[in-house]
Structure formats: structure tokens, C-alpha cells
Amino acid sequence: MSRDLAAGIVSQLNNEGIRLAYLVKLETSTTILLTDHSKNITYDSDAYVADGSLYLTDEIDEHSDLQYSNINIELVNPTSTNKNIFLTAGYVNKAASVHCAFLDADETIIAAFEYFVGTISSATVADTPRGLVVEIELASHFRNWEIQRGRKYTDESQQSIFDGDKGMQFAHLAKNDLSWRA
């Protein structure tokens, strides 16, 4: 799928001194705003911090069909606040976005485009030779595209998923609603 770039970006790409910066926004219990640029950047009223911890480790392939895509980012030696967020379970399915910003020679944002939007699907915290590393997987909104929704407690529904399973063979004889208790 082709994208059109704004005229300002096209003219700047032809000049010397063009720079790229990635802007990552993770909307966890405390919103995390990071950039891989050498200086802090303000974009869309948000102040992205250049603390040197952000690394994008993947590229995104675009397709014309609906499919699951993900991107992995790393926080190397993050602040204790950011590290503690990923030591809890409160970050899963929180919104995440990555923008790619074009900067001119004066390090002013010419334009930015949305590189990735989705949710945080998982994170791991590990002590490595590089230091403490938080590996975060961001997943697109189509991550759960193939989940079977609206299942019923019928033999037909059970057979559509588990062919040959007899567990719901007599479910139609139950007159009362089934309730599952833990």
C-alpha cells in the first residue's frame, strides 16, 4: 500500500541534514513517552523523553489484507518508574503508538506520521550483559481477529471447534441455564 508524503517532507528529504526520530507512547498506569532522538521532543502537546533507553528492534510490513502484525521495542536500563510498570501485570492490552518524526537541521519537527498503533501484548524484564532490558511486544488491533466469539453450550458449537468431542452431546436436555462456578 503506497503512502503519500506531505510536500514539506518530500522537499526536506532532498536536503541535507534530515533526521528521523521515533516517538513511542505507551498508555500504561503512567503514560510513558519516549524517543530515540538525542534530545527531548514535543509533538502533539506531548513531551517525549530522550533518556537513551528506547530501541526499536523490528520493522513493520504493510499488507492490503487484514492480518495480525506486531512490533518489538526494548527499553535498555530504563528508569525505575518505567521498569516497575512492567514488573506488574497492569500493562497488558493498554494502548500503544509509534510515530516517525521528520526533523530538519535545526531539529524542529517538519511532520510526523503514524508508524504503528495497537496495544501492549506482553513484556519481559531481564538482566542481560547490556544491563536491565525490558522487551515489549506491541500488537495490532487485529491480534484477536480469529478468536471464536459467541460460542453456545451446544453440541454443534463444540463440534465446530473440537471435532469428535462428546462433552456437549446432551446439553440440549438441560432445562436450566448452565452456570460455571470456580
Per-residue pLDDT of 119-130, as tens digits, reads 998 899 999 998
- Identity at 114, one-letter amino acid code: E
Residue 57: its pLDDT value, please?
A: 75
pTM comes to: 0.70
Question: What is the tens place of the pLDDT at every residue in 76-113?
Answer: 999 999 999 998 878 888 999 999 998 887 888 888 88
CB neighbour burial string for 124-160, b if at least 16 within 10 angstroms, e if fewer:
eeeeeeeeebbbbbbbbeebeeeeeeeeeeebeebee
Strands of the sheet containing 19-27, edge to edge, are: 31-35, 19-27, 95-103, 109-128, 131-139, 70-76, 54-56
Percent of the chain whose pLDDT exceeds 70: 69
Query: What percent of the chain clears pLDDT 90, i.e. is strictly above it?
Result: 34
Neighbours of 10 (CB within 10 A): 10
Rounded to whole angstroms, how far apart are CA atoms 133 and 77?
6
pLDDT tens digits for 128-153? 998 999 999 998 865 555 555 556 66
Tell me the pLDDT tens digit for each residue of 46-73.
999 999 899 887 666 555 555 557 889 9
Domain positions in the chain = 7-139, 148-182
Interior angle at CA 57, CA 55 and CA 62, nearest 5: 125
